[in-house]
Structure 1
Amino acid sequence: MKNASLIRNVAIIAHVDHGKTTLVDGLLKQSNTFRDNQAEMSQTLIMDSGDQEHERGITITAKQTSIYHGEYKINIIDTPGHADFSGEVERTLNMADGVLLIVDSQEGPMPQTKFVLSKALELGLKPVVVINKIDKPARRIAEVEDELANLFLELATDDSQLHYPVYYAIGREGKAWVGVPENPSEHADLEPIFQAIINDIPAPRVSEDGGLQLLVTALQYDSFLGKYAIGKISRGKARKGQSVVIIKNDVASPARIDVLFSYRGLLREEIDEAVAGDIVAVTGASGAHIGDTIADKDEPEALPTISIEAPTLSMFLGPNTSPFKGREGEFTTSRQIGDRLQKELETNVALRVEEQGIGFTVSGRGELHLSVLIETMRREGYEFEVGRPQVVTITEDGVEKEPIEELQIEVGAEFVGVVSQELGTRRAALSKQEQTSSGTTRLTYHLPTRAMIGLRNLLLTDTKGTVVMNSLPHGYQPLGGKLPQTRSGVLIAFETGTTTPYALENAESRGELFLGPAVEVYAGQIVGLYTRQEDLEINVCKAKHLTNMRSKSSDGTVQLTPFTELSLEQCIDFIENDELLEVTPKSLRLRKKLLDPNERKRANK
């Protein structure tokens, strides 16, 4: 058992794809956490455990691991880089005493870097900067150092935060240096990073005397021991079998630490006692939620709860009401969906759920935050429908205000005009335009969050997939007027049936199709995008009638243009207020809220 002076709690923060998780891989491997013959020694992105994390190449949930270097125990917290998962960042930074800020030597500090760093500096955490990927041909280390200095000047809460050590690394190769190396291919390891954590990151500021205090910052489950409450011990000691209380909103309920775990590598190891400053997991406190305090029953004092920023987007999520309901999903009822959302609330602290009729209004920090939840539920066998994302407004001094975002777009010079035109229609204000070292143009805009809905798809199409977009919250402004609809009308299936090549050949001359032949559709389902502004009902199930007349041309095989298959995010971006997205484990179907054409006409009058 170590005392607090031999413990270091460090969070690793960075923009998406700047090499954060890869550097953690290197630290795990070089600290002799794994045996040489263990599978992890040949793996990459060891900390990204979820299917979606591997598929999307991003970190979604914060995770903690521990490594040992000499006599020091280093608790590493790997945080997400996306502002959409800021709830994860806000809760886990509470466990850290310092941060390792990793920045790409070519891209420099990016919007999400700014977002996570501002949170860390607000909490008074000590920063250590690592400029990564210094072997890139287009590296610009001196300029990146200047950009970092400006960023710290903008965000620092006191003068001491302006003095930060800088290290240089090639995370993929497990190399780091105190200064810029003349020959990056020379032999090196991550020892400078280990020394930086030990010497530059302070020991936990905790009291070893007094009763136990532990703020619950994460929860995990397994079928063997149930719920694990995870957090940093702020005062006293935690012991196996200890009687404690869980304090929530000044109400204390009794509990007991059944089993106490510490971390070593990716594994939890059972221990008998842990000291202040260490990050532990306990079982037995089944009533604990994130933000609660586990305290000594004789000294029941609560710690300050975690403050989480308000959600910015909400959407309707309810049971499927389409003619195909119940065909493909295992969990389809409102009660089953409600139970699943309540379970999600325990660990997803930035999420809000309110009942709305037979469905629910789910609020989160952005489209990605909500789409990850939808994809997770879909993979678990849930079937439901979702509506168009809506902005969550607040009222301040009697004025209704909406969230705004800072949007940074990097694009080739030939596409600047089309990007400016699209953002102009969405009432975005250009605040900065600059050329990057790689020859692209970087544009910074401020615009309402609701103007971001559907923007990514349009810009990817307009720029032939070359646009790079990053956004972060930028406060609130008085609610503006209605934004113009930028999308064309849709092609709607006229009747229920199975699509035929003959009917689709006729339909594709009217617009862009979203499905191919031999697909079951129902009346009111959206099958494509029309070339005009209004909607068009079309028969995509019509079969070709056989006649006695035969000609060479009429019996030729139908050549269909390949259809556009939309991803989950693209579907959510696509739908308008009078439309829904049906989500099942096997299918994504776009549909009108009102399937009957006569009801739609009456509603539009």
Structure 2
Amino acid sequence: MAVRSDLRNLAIVAHVDHGKTTLVDALLWQSGVFRDNQDVAERVMDSLDLEREKGITILAKNTAVRWETKDGPVTLNIVDTPGHADFGGEVERALEMVDGVLLLVDAAEGPLPQTRFVLRKALRKRLPVVLVVNKVDRPDSRIAEVVNQTYELFLDLLDDDSSDTSALDFPIVYASARAGRASLTQPADGSLPDSPDLRPLVETILTTIPPPTYDEGAPLQAQVTNLDASPYLGRLALCRIHQGELTRGSTVAWCRANGDVRLVRVTDLLMTEALDRVPADKAGPGDLVAIAGIPDITIGETLADPENPKPLPVIRVDEPSISVTIGINTSPLAGQSGDKLTARLLKNRLDAETLGNVSIRVRPTDRPDTWEVQGRGELQLAVLVEMMRREGFELTVGKPQVVTRIIDGTLHEPVERVTVDVPEEYVGVVTQMLGPRRGRMEQMVNHGTGWVRLDYLVPARGLIGFRTDFLTETRGTGLLHHVFEGYQPWAGDLRTRARGSLVADRRGTVTAYACFNLQERGTLFVGPGTEVYEGMIIGENARAEDMDVNPCRERKLTNIRSSTAEELERLAPPRHMSLEQALEFCREDECVEVTPDAIRLRKTILSRSEREKRRARRR
């Protein structure tokens, strides 16, 4: 067995906002990738506009850091992964590329649901782990307690029937990614590590994460772990070479997921240096490369030796748990801002998404212009819709639903593990909110700092629409995290949204006079001058039932002067919703109209008379 001692492949995994991308930035700076006076954006690895706007990583991306050691230069291929549970497919894919992981844990927040998710995946693959306790300089850090909680998490995740306890023997590095410092010595809570740079972390990586190994003379085996595109080269397949050597211009066997084997030519070969892909003549075992020349290749397939093709196992990821229907825009205002309006363009875009995103599924419905799109969570599906919206699509998006299964003849539904951090005075509020949603409390811990952590198991459908109400009831102070836990028997009916909708009964332009009268009945989503149509939801009713209203009503003028005519009428500002908030607000008979310049809530059936006929038939 031969060894590539000049190479390490590792992934950085953690819960959202625990400092993964910031740590990669610091490693890039200290390895000499950037000039001292170079103007570089923070979180340089988050290249998508949506990633910068939301402050989260959506797509897994890799970089190559060249680090000088006493034995010569070593290349660290680092894969920066998303921290949000909805993008778990990206994490699972990244783990297929690496030989070890850096597990980042916030020194104040400790292990959270996504920490459990990514660690479970790493332990199943028997990958060595380096624990990095990040943000040790936070004033509210509790380093020793967080380390103990992480040990408890390891013990909880290790298989009961496994005698391999070596996973518990992981090194611990204490770091402040923002300051670019790390140490093997535990600092005092709220203090910086004693080392001036990240060298202790890099040395720990070199000694803990094994170099790639391979068999001398073995035939080529390279697995596609991701897809990208180049305006000059077309589709790029990102591969990890497990055995053999790949050269530019060579002919290889393409082992497809359906079992077919075809001979194809590698027209171009690229390798990563820092943040750029540069042409290369050849690459060997352990290298992460991008190849061009195979336009239909997909994730999980294998490139092998043409004379002795041996495919690797296809990458499998967890099944989706949430779905929405996505169709063309059918509202009276369709076509005013978007340029992609047809079902054919929509279907082609959804099919293209499934090729590059292994955790997305697209299923047909009983309508030719609407499809069911399944994913890991509301955020993942909302990000897909937002990206399509920015590309010029006009869409109708239905209420998120859970993907159920029949297990042993019984209906099962997905359940989420929820962690809530709230000030002590809001504990009762949270328990009252999760009770009707069939939440089951697992643990409650009082940190003694005025904050309480609640751990729940909640049906996934009980969390649809929960985040907005949660932030409102906790005055914006609460922190909510959740991750898919598994499938459990159907929990029965849930009571979620308690209020109805204010629905426009005609098409026209909203007037200030109508708004002044309607704001007493609930919260408005539109303001004067907004164009509306019959069936469009213009606000939230203060009562449980829906109410059809006239938002275009004008004031009738007479020749009689009123004593109150000069009084100032004050309008409350309308409540503007983001795409995620709009999807959360929807009921079963409602949907969201999404265009490049507007997000509108509407009834699935626009006609008031048709909706009343449907209700009468149900009775």
TM-score, with length taken from structure 1 = 0.97
Matching residue within 247, 270, 290 for 2:299: 290
Q: Say if 2:65 and 2:76, in contact at 8 Å, map to a contact too.
A: yes
The equivalent of 2:197 in structure 1 is 189
- Correspondence for 1:139: 141
Taking a change above 3 Å as real, the CA distance of residues 437 and 170 of structure 1, as seen in their structure-2 partners, is: farther
Q: Contact 2:225/2:300 (CA < 8 Å) preserved in 1? A: yes
Question: In structure 1, the residue corresponding to 2:540 is in which secondary structure?
Answer: strand
- Deviation string, structure 1 residues 267-319 (Cα, Å, up to 9, x no partner): 01111111101111111122210011011211211001111111001111000
Is residue 66–residue 75 contact of structure 1 (8 Å, CA) maintained in 2? yes
Counterpart of 1:461?
Answer: 472
**How far apart are residue 415 of structure 1 and its match?**
1.1
Q: CA deviation at 1:551?
A: 3.2
Q: Is 1:340 matched with 2:349? A: yes
Q: 2:64: which partner in 1?
A: 66
**1:460-498 Cα shifts (integer Å, max 9, x gaps):** 111111111111111111223222353311111121100
Q: Distance in 2 between matches of 1:197 and 1:485?
A: 47
**Partner of residue 417 from structure 2, selected from 385, 406, 409:** 406
Tell me the residue number matched to 1:106. Answer: 108
Identity %: 45
Give, in angstroms, the shift of residue 186 of structure 1: 5.8
**Which of 172, 185, 189 is residue 166 of structure 1 equivalent to?**
172
Among 249, 270, 277, the alignment partner of 2:279 is 270
User: 2:533: which partner in 1?
Assistant: 522
Q: Which amino acid aligns with 2:113?
A: P
Farther-moved stretch of structure 1 (338-347 vs 246-255)? 246-255
Structure 1 residues 68 and 485, CA, compared in 2 at 3 Å: closer, same or farther?
closer
Q: Which residue of 2 aligns with 1:597?
A: 608
Aligned residue for 1:341, secondary structure, equals helix
Superposed CA deviations along residues 434-465 of structure 1, whole A, max 9, x for unmatched, are: 11253211111111111110011111111111
Q: 1:34 Cα deviation (Å)? A: 2.4
Q: 1:96 corresponds to which letter in structure 2?
A: V
Alignment deviations for residues 47-105 of structure 1 (CA, whole Å, 9 cap, x no partner): 11111111111111000010111221110000111111011011111001000111111
Q: Is the 8 A contact 2:173 2:182 kept in 1?
A: yes
Letter in 2 for 1:64: N
1:208–1:275: 8 Å Cα contact kept in structure 2? no
Residue correspondence of structure 1 range 5-84 to structure 2 within 5 A: 5-40=5-40, 43-70=41-68, 71-84=73-86
Provide structure 1 residue ranges, at least 5 long, that are not aligned to the other structure: none
Q: Distance in 1 between matches of 2:345 and 2:484?
A: 33
SS in 2 for 1:151: helix
Change (3 A) 1:146 1:572: same
After superposition, the C-alpha distances for 1:494-529 in whole angstroms (9 at most, x for unaligned) are 211000100100000111101111000001110001
What CA distance in whole angstroms lies between the structure 1 residues aligned with 2:514 and 2:335? 28
Contact 1:246 1:292 in 2 (8 A): yes
Give the counterpart letter for 1:116 in structure 2.
Answer: V
Residues 304 and 311 of structure 2 are in contact (CA less than 8 Å); yes or no, is this contact kept in structure 1? Answer: yes
Q: Give, in whole Å, the separation in 1 of the partners of 2:559 and 2:81.
A: 70
User: 2:216, 2:498 → 1: CA distance?
Assistant: 61
The residue identity in structure 2 corresponding to 1:4 is R
Q: Deviations over 1:373-405 (max 9, x none)?
A: 011111111101011111101122222211111
Matched, 1:247 2:255: yes
In 1, the alpha carbon distance for the partners of 2:360 and 2:193 equals 46
* Residue 596 (structure 1) shift: 1.2
Partners of 2:172 and 2:166 lie apart in 1 by: 15
Structure 2 residue aligned with 1:493: 504
Structure 2 residue identity aligned to 1:54 = R
Quote the residue 1:452 is aligned against: 463
Q: What secondary structure is seen at the aligned counterpart in 1 of 2:371?
A: strand
- 1:321 aligns with one of 323, 327, 330: 330
Moved over 4 A (4+): none
Instruction: Please tell me whether residue 553 in structure 1 is matched to residue 564 in structure 2.
Output: yes
SS in 2 for 1:172: coil
Query: Is contact 2:465–2:497 with CA below 8 Å preserved after alignment?
Result: no
Please name the residue that 2:453 is paired with: 442
8 Å Cα contact 2:241-2:288 kept in structure 1: yes
Is the partner of 1:554 in helix, strand or coil?
coil
SS of the residue corresponding to residue 339 of structure 2 reads coil
Deviation at 1:6, TM superposition (A): 1.4
Q: Give the corresponding residue for 1:237.
A: 245
- Quote the residue 2:440 is aligned against: 429
2:331 aligned with 1:331, yes or no? no
Q: Is the 8 A contact 1:208 1:276 kept in 2?
A: no
Deviation, structure 1 residue 572: 0.2
Tell me how far apart the structure 1 counterparts of residues 37 and 237 of structure 2 sit (CA, whole Å). 32
CA distance in 2, matches of 1:402, 1:302: 35
Q: Which residue of 2 aligns with 1:373?
A: 384
Q: Once the two structures are superposed, what CA deviation does each residue of 1:164-183 show, in whole Å capped at 9, x if it has no partner?
A: 00011111011111112466
Q: Deviations over 1:137-167 (max 9, x none)?
A: 1111111111111111112353110100001
Show the 5 A alignment for 1:380-419: 380-419=391-430
Offset at residue 32 of structure 1 (A): 1.0
- 1: CA distance, partners of 2:193 / 2:243: 46
Distance, in Å, in 2 between the alignment partners of 1:205 and 1:515 is: 62
| CA distance in 2: counterparts of 1:144 and 1:132, whole angstroms | 11
Report the AA paired with residue 108 of structure 1: G
In the alignment, what sits opposite 2:576?
565
Amino acid aligned to 1:217 = T
Matched, 1:353 2:362: yes
CA–CA distance in 1 between the matches of 2:35 and 2:307? Answer: 43
Conservation of the 8 A alpha-carbon contact between 1:135 and 1:170: yes
In structure 2, the CA distance between the partners of 1:503 and 1:208, relative to structure 1 (3 Å rule), is farther
Shift of the 8–234 alpha-carbon distance from structure 1 to 2, 3 Å rule, reads: same
From 591, 597, 600, the equivalent of 1:586 is 597
- Aligned residue for 2:10, secondary structure, equals strand
Q: How far apart in 2 are the matches of 1:275 and 1:74?
A: 15
1:210 to 218, 226, 232: 218
